[in-house]
């Protein structure tokens, strides 16, 4: 069993010992207005947790004897939210007498993608709300080759959406508005606004792009600004991903994180990989957004490598880094 609670979503999922993934049961905290307050999200998670566990156990007809281990997101994420997931995991683990496994949420996004797509040694473009990183394995770590210097790409999209009264998550709404605009223009480049393009070597930045897009949206059609926002933000990620592939000599690109649900980002990654003789991969949408199944999958790999988490080592780490975890498997 895997328990995910890094931010807005409490999600629980399963994987079997051979790596078969089971769809998660999830509950999303939606604030009435504004952004996510960590303590309000944590309260939400603690209220919905018992029903989520029992409904998933019933759905799959599992009993406690079927649970080999309980894994949870130990970090990175919002402290109050992480603490709820960790408490649920500790309770179930001790009640069911199943080992406890604390895992790195970022690494879980990678491993569920490898499981789902069958890619072997990819460069990963991890594009979510809070994180935007380009990652590649080197030795026993997933190394961060480049990342955002300010806000995550998804948070940027969500903030732009919120500025126009569109509720969280804003990314899917911006995708729809962009598609409307793209469907109406016939590859006329003058329709693409020039916005700040935040590539700094292998690092990225999105706050200037956000400010500029908000400015333009006061005068121009929202669809046109959404389209231009996506084109700039995604091109910058794909550029850094391509640079990482060239540096590392790797030929696979794997997308992960909630923004990897986006059809245009997927299309750009396919075009770039095809042009350089590589291959691009992305998991199903349910495994791009935060989900308990990916936490279970990483827990499975940790367990099969002989690693479990003792109670006194199970404290959460809100600022855990992708490269702070050693990788013991191939």
Burial (CB < 10 A; 0-12, 13-18, 19+), residue 308, is middle
Out of 147, 242, 290, 297, the residue judged to bind Fe ion by CB under 5 A: 290
Kindly identify the residues of this chain, within the stretch 249-288, that bind Fe ion according to CB under 5 A: none
State both tokens at 302. Answer: 């940790």
By three-state DSSP, how is residue 75 classified? strand
**175 touches ligand ATP (CB under 6 A):** yes
Question: Considering CB distances under 5 to 8 angstroms, the limit depending on partner class, which of ligand ATP, Fe ion, none binds residue 2?
Answer: none
Kindly identify the residues of this chain, within the stretch 249-278, that bind ligand ATP according to CB under 6 A: 257-259, 261-262
Residue 210: name the closest of 233, 190, 194 by CA. Answer: 233
Q: Is the peptide bond before 76 cis (omega within 30 degrees of 0)?
A: yes
CB of 201 vs ligand ATP, minimal distance in Å? 22
**26 touches Fe ion (CB under 5 A):** no
**290 touches ligand ATP (CB under 6 A):** yes
Residues 6 or more apart in contact with residue 86 via CB below 8 angstroms: 5, 72, 74, 102, 314, 315, 316
One symbol per residue from 126 to 165: x for binding ligand ATP (CB under 6 A), - otherwise; what is it?
Answer: --xxxx--------------------x-x--xx-------
**171 touches ligand ATP (CB under 6 A):** yes
By three-state DSSP, how is residue 104 classified? strand
CB of 159 vs ligand ATP, minimal distance in Å? 9
CA 270 to CA 278: how far, in whole Å? 9
Query: If phi over 0 gives left and psi between -120 and 50 gives alpha, with beta otherwise, what is residue 127?
Result: beta
Q: Which residue has the tokens 């291959």?
A: 279
Question: Measured from the CB atom, is 148 or 217 closer to Fe ion?
Answer: 148
Residues at the interface with Fe ion (CB under 5 A): 128, 290
Q: Which residues bind ligand ATP (CB under 6 A)?
A: 6-8, 77, 105, 128-131, 152, 154, 157-158, 169-172, 175, 257-259, 261-262, 289-290
């Amino acid at each position: 069993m895997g328990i995910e609670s890094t931010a807005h979503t409490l999600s629980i999922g399963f994987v079997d010992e051979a790596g078969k993934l089971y769809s998660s049961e999830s509950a999303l905290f939606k604030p009435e207005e504004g952004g996510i307050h960590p303590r309000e999200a944590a309260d939400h998670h603690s209220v919905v947790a018992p029903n989520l566990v029992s409904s998933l156990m019933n759905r799959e007809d599992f009993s406690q004897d079927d649970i080999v281990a309980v894994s949870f997101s130990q970090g990175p994420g919002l402290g109050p939210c992480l603490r709820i997931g960790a408490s649920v995991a500790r309770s179930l683990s001790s009640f069911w007498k199943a080992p406890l496994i604390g895992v790195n949420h970022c690494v879980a996004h990678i491993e569920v993608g490898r499981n789902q797509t069958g890619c072997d040694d990819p460069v990963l473009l991890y594009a979510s709300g809070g994180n935007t990183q380009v990652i590649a394995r080197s030795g026993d770590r997933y190394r961060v080759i480049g990342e955002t210097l300010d806000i995550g790409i998804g948070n940027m999209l969500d903030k732009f959406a919120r500025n126009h009264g569109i509720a969280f998550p804003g990314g899917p709404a911006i995708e729809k508005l962009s598609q409307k605009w793209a469907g109406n223009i016939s590859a006329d480049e003058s329709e693409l606004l020039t916005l700040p393009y935040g590539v700094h070597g292998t690092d990225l930045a999105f706050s200037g792009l956000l400010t500029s897009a908000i400015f333009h949206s006061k005068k121009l059609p929202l669809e046109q600004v959404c389209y231009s926002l996506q084109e700039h933000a995604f091109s910058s990620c794909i550029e850094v991903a391509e640079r990482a592939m060239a540096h590392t000599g790797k030929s696979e690109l794997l997308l992960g994180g909630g923004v990897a649900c986006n059809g245009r980002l997927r299309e750009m990654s396919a075009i770039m990989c095809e042009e350089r003789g590589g291959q691009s991969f992305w998991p199903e949408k349910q495994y791009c957004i935060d989900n308990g199944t990916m936490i279970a999958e990483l827990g499975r790999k940790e367990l099969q490598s002989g690693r479990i988490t003792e109670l006194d080592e199970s404290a959460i780490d809100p600022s855990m880094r992708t490269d702070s975890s050693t990788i013991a498997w191939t």
